Amino acid sequence: MVHPFLRKLRHGARLTKDNEDILGRLVQSTRLVGAREDVVPFGGAPRYLPLVVDGWACRYITLENGRRQIVSLFLPGDLCEPFGVLPRFMDHAIAALTPVVIAQIRPEAIRAAANASPRIDEALWWDLLVTSAIDREHLVSLGRRTATERLGHLFCELHLRLTMIGLVDEDEPSYDMPVTQADLGDLLGLSMVHINRSLQELRRSGMISLRDRRLSIRDLDGLRELSFFDDGYLHPFGALSLLNSSDVSDVGRTSR
């Protein structure tokens, strides 16, 4: 049972056994948070960096009129704030979407780990870059994709992110999607009703099936095309060039 944090960071740098020991020690102190509870409330000054060990969480912002927007989705292995610093004031909140196990990391410790090894440093910066890229694609979805495109794009992204941490059943790819349609609405900037209708459209067209919080992708290529999904932003094979980690052969990618 490899820790999801390690599973993910392995995609960002070639970690040695030693590196993984150091990283593993960072995530030992954990606590449980119930579904729909805040992991870190709005406005506070957190004392630890939260990292999701198990379950799904999110970052959200609530407007004064009650409208809520989920800004980021956190899966197992995801660090909820940039490593290395603690915000002095939370301009957003972190909440559990399902019951979650949260590891609490001290920023001094994670910085020390980065300083201890260039590969850890590389992995952590890679993670920061990928996290930013995910948020950017999310923003593009809200700005320029239709409802079904947003859903399709999300499902493709989750397929990749969950694959990275070994949570996808690969023949007829399927994975658990333990969130309500209301949550999906808040995530994708749509109403719950419209999410429901768009999901049905995706089902009718044979792209997906979704029952009992389990998503099966029936036509991955179709879904990718429909939603303009290009996996380049997830940098599946490393993204940094500060270090010369040589062995990065070229990866076939859309070039425009």
Partner DNA sequence: CGGGCTATTGACGCTTGTCAAGAGCGGTGG
Partner DNA sequence: CCACCGCTCTTGACAAGCGTCAATAGCCCG
Binding site for its own copies (CB under 8 A): 42-43, 45, 59, 61-65, 67-69, 71, 82, 84-89, 91-92, 107-108, 125, 128-129, 132-133, 135-140, 142-145, 188-189, 228, 230, 232-233, 235, 238-242, 248, 251, 253-256
Q: Which helix (H) or strand (E) holds 33?
A: strand 30-33
198 binds, among DNA, its own copies, none (CB under 5 to 8 A by kind): DNA
Q: What is the closest distance, in whole angstroms, from the C-beta atom of residue 1 to its own copies in the complex?
A: 31
Of 193, 243, 248, 251, the residue at the interface with DNA (CB under 7 A) is: 193
- The SS3 call for residue 146 is coil
Distance in Å, CB of 256 to DNA, minimum: 20
Distance CA 37, CA 51 (A): 15
- Judged by DSSP in three states, 51 sits in strand
Query: Which option in its own copies, DNA, none does residue 235 bind, with CB closer than 5 to 8 A by kind?
Result: its own copies
**98 forms part of the interface with DNA (CB under 7 A):** no
Distance CA 117, CA 9 (A): 14
Which residue number, 114 or 174, has a Cβ lying nearer to its own copies? Answer: 114
Q: What SS3 class is residue 235?
A: coil
Phi, psi of 4, rounded to the nearest 5 degrees:
-60, -30
Pairing of strands 57-62, 68-74: antiparallel
Residue range at the interface with DNA (CB under 7 A); choices 6-14, 47-55, 190-198, 238-246: 190-198
**Residue 190 interacting with DNA (CB under 7 A):** yes
Task: Give the angle 28-32-35 at the CA atoms, nearest 5°.
Answer: 145
Closer to DNA by CB, 196 or 205: give it: 196
Find which of its own copies, DNA, none residue 129 binds, CB within 5 to 8 Å per kind: its own copies
**Count of residues engaged in binding DNA, rule: CB under 7 A:** 18
d(CA 201, CA 31): 40
Q: Please identify which residue in 98, 163, 196, 245 interacts with DNA, judged by CB under 7 A.
A: 196
| Rounded Cα distance, 137 and 233, in Å | 8
Residues 6+ apart with CB under 8 A from 60: 68, 69, 70, 71, 92, 93, 95, 186
Rounded Cα distance, 78 and 173, in Å: 22
Residues 120-149 that bind DNA (CB under 7 A): 146-148
* Residue 209 sits in the site that holds DNA (CB under 7 A): no
Separation CA 174–CA 6 (nearest Å): 22
Per-residue x/- marks for DNA, 102-121, CB under 7 A?
A: --------------------
- Residue 138's binding partner among DNA, its own copies, none (Cβ under 5 to 8 angstroms by kind) is its own copies
d(CA 67, CA 30) in angstroms, rounded, equals 31
Residues that bind DNA (CB under 7 A): 146-148, 180-182, 189-194, 196-200, 213
